[in-house]
Structure 1
Amino acid sequence: MKLAEMKTYLAAHGVEDGTAYSHGGLGGGDIHGIEEIDGVWYTYYSERGSKGGYRAWPSEEDAVAFVVKDAEKFARAYKFWKE
């Protein structure tokens, strides 16, 4: 799955950018984010107004898979995942 597909999939389940994941920015809480920098896909942890814990991935699909899994888990735990 690519980033655009991830956003569509998560939005269909009530999960918007900034709620359970972040695309390039800072989220509304302690959540994982995803961004591409100089052709490399990274995930990071957004907390307290900063990004940290950057991890490089071999492909967009691998980075997206990590974020989708985490965002779904977060949304289900906080009960805003829609079936």
Structure 2
Amino acid sequence: MKLNEMKTYLAAHGAEEGVAYSHGGLGGGEITGIEKIDGVWHTYSSERGKKQGYRAWPSEEEAVADVMKYAEKFARAYKLWRD
């Protein structure tokens, strides 16, 4: 799955960007983020106003899969997820 597909899927289930995950920025709390830096996809934790714990991925799809599992888990835990 590509980033744009992930965004559409998560939004359809109530997991909005900035709430359940972040794309290139900081979220409203402790959430997982994704961004492309110098041609490489990275995931990170958005915590206490900082991006930390960067992890590089060989492909966009692998980075997206990592964010997906955390975003869905977050959305379900905070009762944001809609089936």
Task: Tell me whether the two structures share a fold, i.e. TM-score over 0.5.
Answer: yes
TM-score (structure 1 length as normaliser):
0.98
| Structure 1, gaps ≥5 residues long | none
User: What are the superposed Cα offsets for residues 38-72 of structure 1, whole Å, 9 maximum, x if unpaired?
Assistant: 11000000011110000000100000000011100
What is the rounded CA distance, in whole Å, between the counterparts of 2:7 and 2:31 in structure 1? 15
Where do 4+ consecutive residues of structure 1 move more than 2 Å? none
What is the rounded CA distance, in whole Å, between the counterparts of 2:16 and 2:31 in structure 1? 12
Match of 1:53 in 2: 53
What is the rounded CA distance, in whole Å, between the counterparts of 1:17 and 1:57 in structure 2? 20
| Structure 2, gaps ≥5 residues long | none
Match of 2:25 in 1: 25
Question: Identity of counterpart residues, as a percentage?
Answer: 78
TM-score (structure 2 length as normaliser):
0.98
Match of 2:36 in 1: 36
Is structure 2 residue 10 aligned with structure 1 residue 10? yes
| CA positional deviation for 1:16 | 1.0
- Equivalent pairs, count: 83
